[in-house]
Structure 1
């Protein structure tokens, strides 16, 4: 095996892809309420700023997720524009996001669609990129009260229906994706 260093351009591409995979893993962990996986995506000393829900230690934020998520019947994060800049083992990202939430309230179900961005700081420690700081930025929000979601529409009859938690059909369909695993599951 050679000790030759990689071309810096190739190393930058690999680092950016690893960070992009981290962003996607975050969306999956949030949507499936997979808080074990979520925990594996942050460094132990990371910070999370999540609007009214939380500001402080990311690990403490993840500890509060079950109570935050208990009324959320649907979570669906979709990433569009990803801007990442690298500086050695540090990086920053501005990640555009559209996040759909169906929330159970005392008055019934409501839909909340948020367009925003994540302001992220990442660090590569022991060869692995993780979040060191994440801040949520809301650019716009659309609320439908009552909810307009119809999971019984004939167009989706017979389809698998996504659910939070391990009851999501992905966990019985896939063999390689496992509950609670971060980006680098142990073999």
Structure 2
């Protein structure tokens, strides 16, 4: 058994932090429908497997996102458990998520809460960690039809209401977060 030096341990922590920030940036890009930011998270030759939505080159999946997200009133990805393994300039991760979807259907819409995981492969190229392969695994789904979301509930009175795109209140509040930027 070899013991890692303090410098090796620090390098590993920095790499894991960079990958963690990549994972969180993905959730933000998905929820804000920020396709430019999403593109910046994948290597050009990366693969994405989102089941029936898309399976193949990640850039082709991102090209399809405007149509996929067109009927989404709300997307809300929550990352929970993150298990990472590093091996030099490559890494793998199993990332647990709760993803809420409020879908327009011409009426009250419907909700789907999905519990699942991402199976990720990452590569560090030119000093930057990005996805090289991402696959989604659904463990369960909780649907509600009609939608149970009530944005006019008294608890929300006077609160900022999130929305997809650059009109989300976060872009007016923060000066360090920019739409389309990682």
The answer to whether TM tops 0.5 is yes
Match of 1:151 in 2: 151
Does residue 104 of structure 1 match 2:104?
Answer: yes
Q: 1:51-92: CA deviations, max 9, x gaps?
A: 111100000100000000000000000000000000000000
Q: How big is the shift at 1:6?
A: 7.1
TM-score normalised according to structure 1 size = 0.93
How do 1:1-187 and structure 2 match up within 5 A?
7-182=7-182
How many residue pairs get aligned? The number is 178
Q: How big is the shift at 1:107?
A: 4.6
Unaligned runs of at least 5 residues, structure 1: 183-187
C-alpha RMSD of the superposition: 1.1
**C-alpha separation between the residues in 2 aligned to 1:173 and 1:58?**
31
**C-alpha separation between the residues in 2 aligned to 1:170 and 1:16?**
26
With 100-109 and 38-47 compared, the bigger mean Cα shift is at 100-109
Q: How big is the shift at 1:105?
A: 1.5
Unaligned runs of at least 5 residues, structure 2: none
**C-alpha separation between the residues in 1 aligned to 2:68 and 2:88?**
35
With 107-116 and 133-142 compared, the bigger mean Cα shift is at 107-116
Q: How big is the shift at 1:180?
A: 0.2
**C-alpha separation between the residues in 1 aligned to 2:27 and 2:15?**
19
**Which secondary structure state, in structure 1, belongs to the residue aligned with residue 104 of structure 2?**
strand
Q: 1:115-172: CA deviations, max 9, x gaps?
A: 0000000000000000000000000000000000000001110000000001100111
With 169-178 and 121-130 compared, the bigger mean Cα shift is at 169-178
